[in-house]
Amino acid sequence: MKRLRVPFLVAILIGCVTALDPTPPAPESKPGDTATSESRPSSRPRRRRAESRAAEAKAETRPAVDSPFTAIVDATIWPVSGPPIRRGTVLVFENRILDVGRDIPVPEGAKIIDGKGKHVAPGFIALRSLQTFGGGFMARGEDSPGDQADPYNIRMLMALSAGITTAFEGGSPSPTGNLAGFIGKHTYGTLDGLAVKDKAALWVTYASTEPLRGPFGGDPIGPAGPSDQSAKQTVRDLLKRAVEFRKARAKFIADPAGGKAPTADENVTAFARALDGEIPVFIRASSRSELAELARLSEEFNLPVIVTDATEAWASLPDLARGRFMFMLNPRQRPSDGAEPRNRLMDEPTGWRPINPAALEKAGYTFAVQPLSPSISTDGLPGRDLMALPMEACFAIRGGASEEAGLASITLAAAKILKIDDRVGSIDAGKDADLLVMDREPLDYRSFAEIVLVNGKVVYEKDKVSLFNHVPTDRSTPLRGNWWRDR
């Protein structure tokens, strides 16, 4: 905190200078304003303009930002890293959070977002996403996803309406390890600050004996896992070589004159980076036997692993204790079909295990949740894609996890898994200003994100985007007449 004082004073000085600026700020456009030519200066005032176009122009006009400060005041703040702060302030300087708490002085001229009666949460993180950075988004050859991102695409806007500000897309597991996946931010309308990390994780097939399947069973969406010990041996061999590589590297660092810098295959260095804890390793394991096998691997090589699926983790805690794990799971997922014969306890007819997150939390593990489908669309799959990410957290709570862990499971825990918790995941001074202003508590099933900030910039306003602007904040009032026309 102390380190921040000096920049804070500088920032206040800048703020004062900005406040002294004699030019009056441009009038902000209001969503209800239906005036046409008066509010939009134009060199051709005589032109006719359709009303829809005028309304559209409003929606696209961003308020003029004179001060580098933005302050969300008088709101209930959910920092995730600590308890909620009633009637608190989040002060943002440019793209970072400068301070958070009660009685924070707000520099003059700062852009104020009135948070009275509102709740402020850190932007949600989707651990798996599909096409929120654009439809034609794929890595091929030297082409990096960040170089084709489309920050105008509708899925990004929809993700923002669901409160998702950071997403992780791409990557499929292989026994030799697949260094892939792009972490980006939903910086709608700009590429500035969109890319966070490319090739952000190592995807490994190890314990799986089944091909990866989409939601509801369906066709395999990934390659079949290794069915014999020799394929698993591939992973172990790579890890052994990575351990050797790290030893040689440590030796070289200790004594650079003693020889050449060690080199290794790309796969080996990737595993070495995973052992260093530099990149996360995602490995799928569902059943008890798979989880136990993975635990042995993790223990042998001291390898930190992000376990995906982990459907039977709640029943595998003694085995899991041997390894180093974090979990990415879905509290609504049922055990995958026919993987292997299960014991009586597993074969209960309801299938899904809402106590899974609760059991993991009590055992001290970090878990993040993800929906059954990583996509987002207007086509449906209601409540099971990214549009309802907070609902997954609610199901974790329903199964017995704490509310804190529930909220963390779509924010800070996901950030820790992706190793970007130095930047996002909680409302703390120094972190990126990715903030949600919500009309209710973040995990209330009625909540909507009303204003979304990414990197300190307002990228989504519920009132101005046609997705949910017909839903009034106070739901006791009826829908606006002809809302389908007015929007």
Partner 1 sequence: MTPIAMASVSERPMTLRILAAAALLAFVGFAQDRLTAIRVARAWTVTGKPIDDAVVLIEGGRIVKVGAASETPIPEMADVLEGAGWHLTPGFIHPYASGFGISSGDLGGTTSAADRQVSGDVKPQSWDVIAAAAKAGFTRLNLLPINGGVTGQGVFVAPAAKADRDPRVEDILGAGSTSLAMGFDPKTSTKKFFREILGKAQKYRDDLANPKKPSKSESKPESGDSKSSESKASESKPSEPSKDPKVMPLVDVMEKRLPGFLGIRAPHGLLHFQPIMKEFPAFRPILCLGPECWRSVELVKELGVPVVLTTGSVLKADTDIEIPTPVRFFDAGIPVALIPENPAPGFTGFAFHLSEVVRRGVSRDDVLRSVTMVPAEMLGVQKDIGALGAGMSADLLLWSGDPFVPSSKLLRVMVRGTTVHDATEAP
CA angle centred on 336, ends 331 and 338, rounded to 5°: 155
Does 49 contact partner 1 by CB under 8 A?
yes
Please, which residue, 188 or 327, has the CB nearer to partner 1?
188
Please, which residue, 53 or 247, has the CB nearer to partner 1?
53
CA separation for the pair 271, 338 (Å, rounded): 31
Does 473 contact partner 1 by CB under 8 A?
no
Site residues (CB under 8 A) for partner 1, limited to 237-256: none
Contact flags string 111-150 toward partner 1, x per CB under 8 A: -----------------------x------xxxx--xxxx
Q: How far is the CB of 61 from partner 1 (least distance, A)?
A: 11
Among positions 21, 56, 237, 347, the unique one binding partner 1 when judged by CB under 8 A:
56
Q: How far is the CB of 328 from partner 1 (least distance, A)?
A: 28
Does 379 contact partner 1 by CB under 8 A?
no
First CA to last CA distance, the chain: 45
Structure tokens at 268: 């080996």
Please, which residue, 142 or 228, has the CB nearer to partner 1?
142
CA separation for the pair 393, 412 (Å, rounded): 13
Please, which residue, 47 or 116, has the CB nearer to partner 1?
47
Q: How far is the CB of 152 from partner 1 (least distance, A)?
A: 5
Please, which residue, 57 or 388, has the CB nearer to partner 1?
57
Does 153 contact partner 1 by CB under 8 A?
yes
Does 276 contact partner 1 by CB under 8 A?
no
Contact flags string 17-46 toward partner 1, x per CB under 8 A: -------------------------xxx--
Q: How far is the CB of 170 from partner 1 (least distance, A)?
A: 14
Among positions 50, 253, 254, 345, the unique one binding partner 1 when judged by CB under 8 A:
50
Among positions 189, 211, 351, 472, the unique one binding partner 1 when judged by CB under 8 A:
189
The residues binding partner 1 (CB under 8 A) are 42-44, 47-50, 52-53, 55-56, 134, 141-144, 147-154, 157, 189-191, 378, 466-467, 487
